[in-house]
Amino acid sequence: MSGRVAAVFGLAGAMLAGCLQTAQAREVVPFQNGVAPGSVVISVSQRKLYLVNGDGTAIRYPVAVGRPGKQWFGTKPIDGKYVAPAWSPPAEVKRDNPRLPNLIAGGSPHNPMGAAAMTLAGGEYAIHGTNRPSSVGTYASYGCIRMYNQDVVDLYARVDVGTQVYMTH
Query: 105-114 long-range CB contacts below 8 Å, 24 or more apart?
Result: 106/82, 111/84, 111/85, 111/86, 111/87, 112/87, 113/82, 113/84, 113/85, 113/86, 113/87, 114/146, 114/147, 114/149, 114/152
Catalytic pick from 19, 110, 144, 169? 144
Dihedral over Cα of 116, 122, 123, 126: its sign: negative
19 is catalytic: no
Instruction: Please name the residues in contact with 73: beta carbons below 8 A apart, sequence gap of 6 or more.
Output: 44, 167, 168, 169
From 19, 110, 128, 169, active-site residue: 128
Q: How far apart are CA 108 and CA 87, in angstroms?
A: 10
Catalytic residues: 128, 144
